[in-house]
């Protein structure tokens, strides 16, 4: 947990709360470490601006229902569950029209409210997801990032499309896998890191490039560029070049976050090309979750190659260090193995 | 016509061509002057880079079919017609999947091929549009810019939506009119020019603002910003501020062209907001034309207030000067009154 | 209220309940009588199969919040509200993916649970709709049927479309009005009843026909039939003929309910024509409600001409008799004028 | 060719025509026999009403360009091509808005104009499709039926959806294959014929049922029925039962043709369920063709198992008899092996 406004996370005692009438108390079994958790650990500008310690971080989890409020009917103690970490206000235009992932007053697990890097976590029943028995714990604790990848991919039609994925971090790699088994045509992956390039091939990329280069992409597509471009890097240079790789009339989905402003030649790169661009945030509740459930139970290989580190929970700092060193794709922490 | 690579357009003799087997020769009766024609007249950087003189400019017209090729069945001599100025290659992915307005090899009337600032103009029959008798010549010669406005408006759902229109040039004003009779909720117009503000009210704007100001827009919408934003100004400052006026989950369509790059804070202004952005180019062939036909024959008032100047064709320079001086919204040139 | 399984409704004492933690207790001021209420009154086959007396009927209302549960934050006592009568289970695939109006376990106000033909009615806060002050009580108590009309119209694109509305009952007439101010092209109404035909013209129909006749419709459209057909009659003969009035590639939305099976020549009437057909049920929560709010505050005339009877609540039987006699379009009951 | 209005097809001399200015003359190498060809052979009621002998039947082909008109730029002699058999009029509302497959004046190859059961066939260049070298002739001559399957599948979202395919004829089996590699969740196939059931499993069906039974389908889906139902049988009983297998809010696409009218309880089976139904006709030009190209070059196994008979062209009657006997899925005729 983050106890003070500074670098680091510490182990501390977290009180176990009694769930409210519509809440579910979950005993956490496994959690994933997200880039967001690393930002909180490192206490960067974003974290310092958003986080109010003390806070338990973490939002990727699987666990067992321990207790439920009186108004909870969806699950019962003993059920294996994960959960959606975006908790909308429920009353605004977004929340009432199927866009609660974009609610302006959203509370995010492990960011605005107490997260899952703890023995127990509490969520409203409306955010709880009962896990299909065909999906194992390692996959189930990663519904959240896998859902980001799914939401990004499914924000435009992909059947038979030639797709450029810029940035092969964990979510980019998951997107490549989803495209590969989901009916896309050629998948072209971009990342300068040879380890990530190798993983991209394992996930099903047909072509791997060092950078987003318009001429190179046009050569490997048989239209005048990619039909669809997924920006998963947040890297300013890659971002701009990636727009040059999209064919006229193409579609773009943006997930990668940059810390700075990025300029485009909008006339040339967007307007005359007739592009459509989607900003991607969270997961569509709960269409994305049903899609994730389907893909995960049919294709376990969509996550398995990406878990490079499995650690007991009390060694979470080793996991963060592995991420910082670039050696890790996904780190999964096991609470049951932890010595706490 | 543009006879040399320099400022100005000159009157000159244009040979009347015999139409090819699938072409239609049209005797022009009225034409509109577009901002593009002004760029060609002024020989700015865009024009100098794109135009290859000698060229007859002009792409907004109505006229009478004079002659047709042997393979033309859609119209016959004597029919009153206008036409789509984007001529796709017909063979590329865009052209074969309903996106020929975004064809990479498109020829544009009056830009890449001889235009309609002439007694006669030739177009392929597939680009010819027979004009409904309920639509008069002043409206009919403006199908092209009215179609830009229609395409921009119809690129997202507008029924019951609160819409911000940034920039009240002719196309912005047309968009306001279309929104007003087309089922939108509140329409908020932005333009610093009092003449344009007055026209915006005439066209049906509910609120008129001097600039795109997030707080002001949130005050007059009853969500957390506009549902839809149409950028019709191309002004860099307005462009950036306009994104702050859109609610989370909202939609944006971009038509206005800027001569320079514009930077956004993509994370804050697009990605976390979950926006969808459309680059708008030309008109959807020919869905947009059918919609224009419908709106124009039911609502003549959508164009009438915007024609501020009617001139005989040989006084076209007076029209361009009126546009340069900011006094003109739309200038229509009448060939039948011309002394040539 | 329906006290026994037989024809009729009786006045009776209805206990005022204390709202549950997320419920809202509303003092009813006005209610509308729906065709469903008439079915319950008449105790037809559908009613006998679905209704379990004792039941308070009624689902169209406006009222004032009297009391709220501890978990209610959306409204407070004194607020003027209406409400969505379809209460989804909240846990099924439909409810979790934006289709709760089609929830298989839905409870419908005044059908499955106690309705609004009573001084007080209770609804969950998630179903409560706070009424905009620009919308008067007569309109506000009809959000429900107006929402059916809106949902039917908005289930396909209508801008510039030529639309056939088959059946000019109250909801069909509302649909005509929405089409008229919502950007449709020609609206062709079908009803054999001259009173309804006159109302159709008042609501904005361009053409009124006695019956759905393919040749007549093709004559007044300028495609090969209507782009869109809305079936609001439930009359088997009209239903079949109406399909012959739709152009190839057209769209159909079905709201009218028939008590019997209806046969189509699917190959000829649906498959070779490439039609799309929507079965329409309830209202999209809550997109439809926002659209209704927008249209009603901008166009009060969309409902006003359709209220043919205003009665104090204790004269509800006179209202039902007016509906049975065919003289009534919409009957509104005023609780404040009632002598009970 | 069909020389007279009676049962049978005869071999006859077909003159080789000189292509018109925009036409392409193709030397046929392989053709498939479609159910439509069998109808023409058998001279059933549909054929007798539509076909005007003398007519060369056949519309599924691959071949080599032999000659081109002066206005043809898309292909040149020697190119390997297939072609879209629906030739729209080019001028109607459907043809001008991306629905030319539903043109009311469409000419269909081998039905309304001379087909491909001949050494040479002529098509307009706009209907010609150049075949990717990764696709072999057996696959390429079946673009047409594979495109029917693709169009049916892609008419609604299928990613992660549980899909019921009713009828395992060749097109139904192709649809199962497309669903399997295209991102669908469980695929449930229905056909009483054990040979077809076996093929359904080979193509990737997860569950195979003898008939469309609501209870059985609900048991193998984990919603309240299938998300999507594709009707490929045209069998009246299966058609009606199949609607009972779809969950509320689900989607239906209809391709199978029945010779008789079929009645539904529309209120119960369509309206209260909130279904969307698509009538499927031909292929979307040319989105479907691009999707087919993509799927065929990545997944040759989508067609290979379905070709049960390969015959020289002059033995076409043996192929039709194999289809009549129920032993054949797809029959491919090879012109190069033919003794004519």
Cβ atoms of D104 and D93 closer than 8 Å: no
Contacts of residue D295 in chain A, CB cutoff 8 Å?
A: 160, 183
pLDDT of A340 reads 60
Give the CA radius of gyration of chain D. 20
**pLDDT, average across residues C299-306:** 94
Contacts of residue B257 in chain A, CB cutoff 8 Å?
A: 267, 271
Cβ atoms of B22 and B70 closer than 8 Å: no
Residue pairs between chains B and D whose CB atoms are closer than 8 Å: 29
Contact: B274, A101; criterion CB under 8 Å: yes
Greatest alpha-carbon pair distance for chain B in Å reads: 61
Contact: D91, B73; criterion CB under 8 Å: yes
Minimum CA–CA partner of A283 in chain C: C97
Nearest 5°: CA angle at B219, between B214 and B220? 105
Contacts of residue B229 in chain A, CB cutoff 8 Å?
A: none
Contact: B159, C154; criterion CB under 8 Å: yes
Its sign, for the CA torsion D295, D297, D301, D306, is: positive
Cβ atoms of B84 and B285 closer than 8 Å: yes
Mean pLDDT over all residues of chain C?
A: 95
Contact: C91, A71; criterion CB under 8 Å: no
Query: B321 catalytic, yes or no?
Result: no
pLDDT of A205 reads 98
Distance from CA of B298 to the nearest CA of C (A): 8
DSSP for C272-295, please give it. Answer: TTT-EEEE--S--TTHHHHHHHHH
Name the burial class of residue C49, with classes exposed (0-12), middle (13-18) and buried (19+) by CB atoms within 10 angstroms of its CB: exposed
Contact: D160, A293; criterion CB under 8 Å: yes
- Select from B272, B69, B11, B295 the least CA-distant residue to B181: B295
Cβ atoms of A142 and A303 closer than 8 Å: yes
Minimum CA–CA partner of C73 in chain A: A91
Nearest by CB to residue B160, choosing from C159, C161, C291, is: C291
- Select from B290, B294, B292, B286 the least CA-distant residue to B99: B286
**Mutating which of C183, C206, C221, C222 best tests the B interface, going by the most B Cβ atoms within 10 A?**
C183
- Select from C270, C261, C281 the least CA-distant residue to C242: C270
What is the percent of chain B with per-residue pLDDT over 70, rounded to a whole number?
100
Rounded CA separation D186/D163 (Å): 6
pLDDT digits (tens, 9 = 90+) for B82-133: 999 999 999 999 999 999 999 999 999 999 999 999 999 999 999 999 999 9
Whose tokens are 């229902």? That residue is A65
Cβ atoms of C328 and C319 closer than 8 Å: yes
State the DSSP code for D2: B
Nearest by CB to residue B160, choosing from C161, C185, C295, is: C295
Contact: B291, C181; criterion CB under 8 Å: no
ipTM of predicted complex: 0.97
Rounded CA separation A46/A259 (Å): 9
Whose tokens are 């499955």? That residue is C112
**Mutating which of C100, C104, C245, C249 best tests the D interface, going by the most D Cβ atoms within 10 A?**
C249
| B44 has pLDDT over 70 | yes
Nearest by CB to residue D286, choosing from B21, B96, B290, is: B96
Q: Hey, is D317 helix, strand or coil?
A: helix
pLDDT of B115 reads 96
In the predicted model, residues of chain D with pLDDT beneath 70 are 340
Cβ atoms of C54 and C336 closer than 8 Å: no
Nearest by CB to residue A159, choosing from D160, D182, D185, is: D182
Contacts of residue B274 in chain A, CB cutoff 8 Å?
A: 99, 101-102, 278-282
> How far lies A52's CA from each of A4, A43, A58, in Å?
9, 11, 14
**pLDDT, average across residues A277-287:** 97
- Token readout for C330 is 């919409």
Q: Which chains touch A (3 or more CB pairs under 8 A)?
A: B, C, D
Lowest-pLDDT range, A224-233, B319-328, C241-250, D144-153? Answer: B319-328
Query: B29 catalytic, yes or no?
Result: no
Rounded CA separation A85/A121 (Å): 11
pLDDT of A4 reads 81
Beta strand B80-83 pairing with B60-68:
antiparallel
A101-129: buried (b, 16+ CB within 10 Å) or exposed (e) per residue? bbbbebeebbbbbbbbbbbbbbbbbbbbb
What is the percent of chain C with per-residue pLDDT over 70, rounded to a whole number?
100
Rounded CA separation A138/A305 (Å): 11
Contact: B257, A271; criterion CB under 8 Å: yes
Per-residue confidence band for B340, with pLDDT thresholds at 50, 70 and 90: low
- Token readout for A33 is 């470490």
Cβ atoms of B23 and B124 closer than 8 Å: yes
Per-residue confidence band for C267, with pLDDT thresholds at 50, 70 and 90: very high
Q: For residue C285, how far is the Cα from the chain centroid?
A: 14
Rounded CA separation C215/C25 (Å): 53
Contact: A291, D159; criterion CB under 8 Å: yes
- Token readout for C173 is 């007439």
Contacts of residue B262 in chain A, CB cutoff 8 Å?
A: 263-264, 266
Q: Which chains touch B (3 or more CB pairs under 8 A)?
A: A, C, D
pLDDT of B11 reads 77
Chain C residues within 8 angstroms (CB to CB) of chain A: 21, 71, 73-74, 90-91, 93, 96-98, 126, 285-287, 289-290
Contact: D98, B93; criterion CB under 8 Å: no
The CB density around residue D203, as the number of other CB atoms within 10 Å, is 25
**Mutating which of B160, B182, B296 best tests the C interface, going by the most C Cβ atoms within 10 A?**
B160
Contact: C249, D99; criterion CB under 8 Å: yes
Per-residue confidence band for C17, with pLDDT thresholds at 50, 70 and 90: confident
Whose tokens are 């479907």? That residue is D288
What is the percent of chain A with per-residue pLDDT over 90, rounded to a whole number?
89
Minimum CA–CA partner of C227 in chain B: B290
Mean pLDDT over all residues of chain A?
A: 95
pLDDT of D340 reads 60
Choose, from B3, B18, B29, B39, the residue flagged as catalytic.
B39
Contacts of residue C181 in chain B, CB cutoff 8 Å?
A: 181, 183
| A270 has pLDDT over 90 | yes
Nearest by CB to residue C102, choosing from D101, D261, D274, is: D274
**pLDDT, average across residues C60-82:** 97
**Mutating which of D76, D102, D132, D286 best tests the B interface, going by the most B Cβ atoms within 10 A?**
D286
- Select from D307, D302, D329 the least CA-distant residue to D180: D302
Per-residue confidence band for C28, with pLDDT thresholds at 50, 70 and 90: very high
Q: Hey, is B297 helix, strand or coil?
A: helix
Nearest by CB to residue B183, choosing from C181, C290, C292, is: C181
Rounded CA separation D175/D206 (Å): 13
Name the residues of A annotated as catalytic.
Answer: 36, 39
| E strand or H helix that includes residue A202 | helix A194-203
Contact: C183, B185; criterion CB under 8 Å: no
Contacts of residue B265 in chain A, CB cutoff 8 Å?
A: 260-261
Distance from CA of C156 to the nearest CA of D (A): 11
DSSP for D85-115, please give it. Answer: -EE--SSSHHHHTT-GGG-TT-EEBTTTB--
Residue pairs between chains C and D whose CB atoms are closer than 8 Å: 134
Contacts of residue B289 in chain D, CB cutoff 8 Å?
A: 96
State the DSSP code for A21: T
Name the burial class of residue D219, with classes exposed (0-12), middle (13-18) and buried (19+) by CB atoms within 10 angstroms of its CB: exposed
pLDDT of B65 reads 98
Per-residue confidence band for B71, with pLDDT thresholds at 50, 70 and 90: very high
pLDDT of B76 reads 97
| A216 has pLDDT over 90 | yes
Rounded CA separation B179/A304 (Å): 51
Chain D residues within 8 angstroms (CB to CB) of chain B: 21, 71, 73-74, 90-91, 93, 96-98, 126, 285-287, 289-290
Contact: A287, C98; criterion CB under 8 Å: yes
Beta strand C207-209 pairing with C187-190:
parallel
Per-residue confidence band for B34, with pLDDT thresholds at 50, 70 and 90: very high
pLDDT of C340 reads 60
Give A289's strand partners: none
Contact: A160, D295; criterion CB under 8 Å: yes
């Amino acid at each position: 947990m983050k106890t003070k406004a500074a670098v680091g996370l510490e182990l501390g005692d977290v009180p176990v709360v009694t769930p409210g009438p519509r809440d579910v108390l979950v005993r956490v079994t496994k959690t994933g470490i997200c880039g967001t958790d690393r930002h909180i650990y490192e206490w960067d500008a974003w974290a310092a601006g958003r986080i109010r310690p003390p806070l338990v971080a973490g939002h990727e989890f699987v666990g067992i229902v321990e207790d439920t409020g009186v108004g909870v009917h969806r699950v019962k103690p003993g059920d294996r569950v994960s959960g959606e970490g975006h908790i909308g206000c429920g009353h605004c235009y977004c929340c009432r029209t199927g866009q609660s992932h974009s609610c302006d007053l959203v509370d995010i697990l492990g960011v605005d409210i107490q997260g899952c890097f703890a023995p127990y976590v509490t969520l409203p029943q409306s955010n709880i997801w009962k896990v299909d028995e065909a999906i194992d714990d390692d996959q189930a604790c990663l519904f959240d990032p896998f859902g980001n990848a799914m939401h990004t991919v499914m924000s435009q039609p992909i059947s038979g499309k030639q797709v450029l994925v810029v940035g092969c971090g964990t979510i980019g790699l998951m997107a490549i896998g989803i495209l590969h088994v989901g009916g896309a045509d050629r998948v072209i992956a971009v990342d300068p890191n040879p380890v990530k390039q190798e993983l991209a091939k394992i996930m099903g990329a047909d072509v791997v490039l060092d950078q987003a280069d318009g001429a190179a992409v046009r050569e490997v597509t048989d239209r005048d560029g990619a039909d669809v471009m997924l920006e998963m890097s947040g890297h300013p240079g890659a971002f701009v070049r990636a727009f040059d790789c999209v064919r006229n009339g193409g579609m773009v989905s943006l997930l990668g976050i940059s810390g700075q402003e990025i300029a485009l030649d909008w006339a040339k790169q967007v307007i005359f090309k007739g592009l459509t661009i989607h900003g991607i945030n969270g997961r569509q509740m709960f269409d994305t979750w049903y899609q994730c459930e389907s893909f995960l139970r049919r294709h376990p290989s969509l996550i398995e190659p990406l878990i490079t580190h499995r650690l007991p929970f009390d060694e979470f700092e080793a996991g963060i260090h592995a991420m910082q060193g670039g050696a890790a794709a996904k780190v999964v922490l096991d609470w049951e193995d932890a010595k706490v």
